[in-house]
């Protein structure tokens, strides 16, 4: 029996004229994500995309798992494809859904007929198939309102498709359909979640990580690679730029007031990240900040950071509690266990004892005049090392 995946796209349906482009993007993303399992042929029929494995030995369990992480999909199901011959459709339904039907006590049949040349109408298909299945599985009764299982029969142009359960998709919009943004990723809990959330809104990602060897270790960078790898299961491939940040940090430490270390460091990060974003054609920055979480994330501190940004900064976690972020890190991105591994981040290297929580912009600007940071920022962006993840 030939099995396929039937995909119902989510918000795409709302996009009117752009729909084709969005669908093409969704298909491209699925192809990329499924490639290592084997080739699939994709076909769009009405608002459904049919993904058909090109060979029998493709692992469909794996494929279904991966499709479940592709953004832009509202729901999908595994389905049996069958010739449009009603007797064959009936026996295929009984065989394909045997286990589910054995385990259920109530069922109903739902039929969709987009091929109007098929000799039976949808109500006729439901009636006939219902009778056939009752006969085959005499323990079942029909319940049209709240059945244990719904047997779906779709008669389409190329074939008939039979499926039971629908699986909820990852939602959101196809990655790439909203453009590209640059994620500032630390090894913490928040930034991978922030990347995931923006990828869900259709942004493809490039990433920047600031490393300060020898204060931060090779292991800390490896941890970031592993975190991003988990994000790529949703976002697709990510180019990570690793910035050598030591010189800038040491200069901040030696030449700026201690209470301003963090704010100035964040302003420097934003400056470097913007140069990289520009090179990468990314239209915004993404951070994992949340109001009030730490000293550098008070409103005045964020204002000081934003003042150096000429492109939008997306902070999808801004109004979230840590618990809510952890919930996503545990149950969606599966990054929590990695994030809590205890490696130092450059942020923790020169943490001031008493950071100023209400810095003014004037003071921040004055505080950073202690050294000539411009060439260092340019150098840091220019010498960043690219690691391709996923
Ligand atoms: P996270 O859990 O993401 O590390 P956090 O709550 O620890 O966040 P901060 O350390 O203040 O908060 O960092 C705030 C944001 O700044 C991070 O979410 C991330 O976007 C960015 N950031 C911090 N450190 C780095 C780094 N070493 N490289 C790149 N971006 C960083
Ligand atoms: Mg951090």
DSSP 98-158: HHHHHH-SEEEEEEEE--TTSSS-HHHHHHHHHHHHHHHSTT-EE-SSS-SEEEEEEE-SS
- With contact defined as beta carbons under 8 Å apart, do 86 and 119 qualify? yes
Computed from CA positions of residues 333, 338, 342, 346, in that sequence, does the dihedral angle turn out positive or negative? negative
* Residue 345, pLDDT score: 77
Nearest one of 300, 298, 343, 337 to 318, comparing CA atoms: 298
CB distance 23 to ligand 1 below 6 Å: no
* Residue 381, pLDDT score: 98
* Residue 372, pLDDT score: 97
274, burial (CB in 10 Å: exposed 0-12, middle 13-18, buried 19+): buried
CB distance 262 to ligand 1 below 6 Å: no
Closest residue (by CA) to atom 31 of ligand 1?
A: 186
CA distance 204 to 187: 20
Closest residue (by CA) to atom 16 of ligand 1?
A: 287
Closest residue (by CA) to atom 18 of ligand 1?
A: 288
Report pLDDT digits (tens) over 89-147. 999 999 999 999 999 999 999 999 999 999 999 999 999 999 999 999 999 999 999 99
CA distance 356 to 346: 19
* Residue 91, pLDDT score: 96
For residue 348, the CA-to-ligand 2 centroid distance in Å is 8
- With contact defined as beta carbons under 8 Å apart, do 169 and 75 qualify? yes
Enumerate residues 6+ apart whose C-beta is below 8 A from 124. Answer: none
In the chain, the domains with their CATH numbers are 2-170 (3.30.2130.30), 179-389 (3.40.50.620)
Both tokens of residue 105?
């006590």
Task: Give the chain's residues under pLDDT 70.
Answer: 10-17
317 Cα nearest atom in ligand 1:
18
* Residue 342, pLDDT score: 87
């Amino acid at each position: 029996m030939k099995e396929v995946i039937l995909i119902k796209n989510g918000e795409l349906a709302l996009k009117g004229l752009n729909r084709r482009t969005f669908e093409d993007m969704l298909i491209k993303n699925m192809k990329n994500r499924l490639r290592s399992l084997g080739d699939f042929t994709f076909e769009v029929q009405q608002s459904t995309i049919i993904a058909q494995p090109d060979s029998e030995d493709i692992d469909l369990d794996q494929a279904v798992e991966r499709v479940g992480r592709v953004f832009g999909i509202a729901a999908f199901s595994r389905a049996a494809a069958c010739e449009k011959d009603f007797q064959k459709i009936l026996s295929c339904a009984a065989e394909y859904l045997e286990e589910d039907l054995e385990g259920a006590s109530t069922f109903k049949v739902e039929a969709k007929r987009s091929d109007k040349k098929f000799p039976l109408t949808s109500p006729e298909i439901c009636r006939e198939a219902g009778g056939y299945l009752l006969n085959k599985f005499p323990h079942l009764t029909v319940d049209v309102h709240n059945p244990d299982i719904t047997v779906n029969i779709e008669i389409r142009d190329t074939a008939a498709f039979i499926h039971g359960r629908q699986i909820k998709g990852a939602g959101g919009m196809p990655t790439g359909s909203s453009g590209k943004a640059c994620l500032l990723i630390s090894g913490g809990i928040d930034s991978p979640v922030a990347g995931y959330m923006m990828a869900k809104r259709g942004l493809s990602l490039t990433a920047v990580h600031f490393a300060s060897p020898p204060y931060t270790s090779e292991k800390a960078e490896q941890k970031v690679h592993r975190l991003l790898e988990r994000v790529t299961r949703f976002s697709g491939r990510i180019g990570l730029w690793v910035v050598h940040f030591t010189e800038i940090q040491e200069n901040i430490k030696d030449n700026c007031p201690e209470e301003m270390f963090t704010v100035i460091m964040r302003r420097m990060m934003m400056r470097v990240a913007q140069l990289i974003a520009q090179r990468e054609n990314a239209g915004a920055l993404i951070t994992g900040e949340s109001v009030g979480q730490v000293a550098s994330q008070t409103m005045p501190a964020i204002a000081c950071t934003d003042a150096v940004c000429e492109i939008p900064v997306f902070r999808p976690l801004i109004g979230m509690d840590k618990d809510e972020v952890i919930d996503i890190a545990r149950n969606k991105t599966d990054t929590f266990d990695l994030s809590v591994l205890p490696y130092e981040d450059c942020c923790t290297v020169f943490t001031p004892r008493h950071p100023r929580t209400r810095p003014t912009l004037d003071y921040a600007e004055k505080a950073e005049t202690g050294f000539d940071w411009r060439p260092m920022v340019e150098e840091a962006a220019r010498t960043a090392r690219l690691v391709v993840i996923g």
